Amino acid sequence: MDFLLPESEIDILTVTDFTEDGRALRPVSKANPMYYEALILGHQDLGRPLAGNPEPDKKAMVKLIMKVLADQGYYPCNSRKNHPPEILLAFGWGTINRAPGMSALFMGAEKLNLMWEFVPEIPGKIDPRRLFNGALRSHLADHVMSIADDELYILTIQAFDEAAAMQGKTKRLWHTKVSCPARGLNIIPTLNEMVRIAGPNIGKETATPIRITRHPKEAVVTIGELKVLEMIDLNAMPITDIDDPIPAPAAAAPAPAAQP
């Protein structure tokens, strides 16, 4: 089986934001796993419309994300007996195209003191910080600003409180955001590589975005005979896909006739 690798350099940023509720969670590892229910958000194109990018196969993306999560100690709740879900994980991927403020925020600009640069200037008033942008920014902040107006490939994994979700409430615990400039890269192999590279940082709070650059590999990876070590049956797991149709409510059974 052959897998094509990304054909150009990939420059990946990973940032994870935690809430106070998220910081109260216990540490997660393969020795101390956490079990989750999955919500599949699927592919989304944000920002300006963009044509020509194929959508990755949803089932293949979900399997890859679940495999990488398992490597970090996150297991789907039905893959182990007697383990109810402790959290709800929502997966999504896609693009952000030419939406600088949205892209910068996704890349962790608030942790680099950049969001003020996207606030419209007030006529007649000049923020003095704008006179020293280059001197005030770090190299990482410069990098974020330099690619914020271009197209990005993105991956998002959000953790929510399971008990609150069952009550129809939203209580976010953490949010891992992975991004990569899309120029010159095919979306499918790039997203696959983004998931793998981001794996060790998923669900781990970051003070600033983490940047990892991989140089192009002029090769095709050939994998020999595959052996099944563990089967994850997506059909037997509590996975909610937002694209699935909502079933109609069952009709109420007629009341039994009164006995004489």
Domain range summary for the chain, segments of one domain joined by +: 2-241
Q: Give this prediction's pTM.
A: 0.78
What's the CA gap between 53 and 186, in Å, rounded? 8
If one counts every other C-beta atom within 10 angstroms of the C-beta of residue 38, the result is 23
The dihedral built from the CA positions of residue 232, 91, 181 and 17, taken in this order, carries a sign that is: negative
Q: Which residue in this structure is represented by tokens 């990755």?
A: 56
Which pLDDT tens digits describe the chain residue by residue (260 residues)?
444 554 578 999 999 999 999 999 999 999 999 999 999 999 999 988 777 778 899 999 999 999 999 999 999 997 556 789 999 999 999 999 999 999 999 999 999 988 888 776 666 666 666 666 656 788 999 999 999 999 999 999 999 999 999 899 999 999 999 999 999 899 999 999 999 999 999 999 999 999 999 875 544 445 556 554 455 555 556 666 666 665 555 555 555 555 54
CA angle 29, 232, 155 (to 5 degrees): 65
Classify strands 220-222 and 87-97 as parallel, antiparallel or unpaired.
unpaired
Radius of gyration of the chain from its Cα atoms, rounded to whole angstroms: 22
Task: Report the candidate in 59, 66, 17 with the shortest Cα–Cα distance to residue 42.
Answer: 59
What's the CA gap between 177 and 173, in Å, rounded? 14
